[in-house]
Amino acid sequence: MLARLASASKTALAIAGLLLATPAWADRTITDQIGREVHVPDQVNRVVILQHQTLNIAVQLDAMDKVVGVLDEWKKQLGAKYVRLAPKLPELAMPGGLTRVNIEELLTLKPDVVFVTNYAPADMVKQIEDAGLAVVAISLLDVPPEEAVKMNPAVKDEPAAIDAGFAAGVRLIADILDRKDQGEAMIAVTKKSRALVAERLADIPEDKRVPVYMANPDLSTYGRGKYTGLMMERAGARNVANEIAGFKQVTMEDVLKWNPSIIFVQERYPAVVDEIRTTASWQTIDAVRNGRISLMPEYAKAWGYPMPEAMALGELWMAKELYPERFADIDMQKEADSYYKEFYRTDYRAGQ
CATH 3.40.50.1980 domain span(s) along the chain: 20-178, 202-343
Report the C-alpha gap between 8 and 130 in whole angstroms: 34
Identity of the residue numbered 322: L
- Is 16 within 8 Å of 38 (Cβ atoms)? no
Count of C-beta atoms within a 10 Å radius of residue 58 = 24
Considering the domain delimited by 202-343, tell me its CATH architecture. Answer: 3-Layer(aba) Sandwich (3.40)
Question: Looking at the predicted structure, is the pLDDT value of residue 21 above 70?
Answer: no
Residue length of the chain: 352
pLDDT digits (tens, 9 = 90+) for 105-135: 999 999 999 999 999 999 999 999 999 999 9
Is 60 exceeded by the pLDDT of residue 54?
A: yes
Secondary structure (3-state) at 348: coil
Q: Is the pLDDT of residue 12 over 70?
A: no
The contacts of residue 170 (CB under 8 Å, 6+ apart) are 57, 140, 183, 186, 187, 308
Among 52-56, 60-64, 299-303, the minimum mean pLDDT is found in 299-303
For 20-178, which CATH superfamily applies?
Answer: Nitrogenase molybdenum iron protein domain (3.40.50.1980)
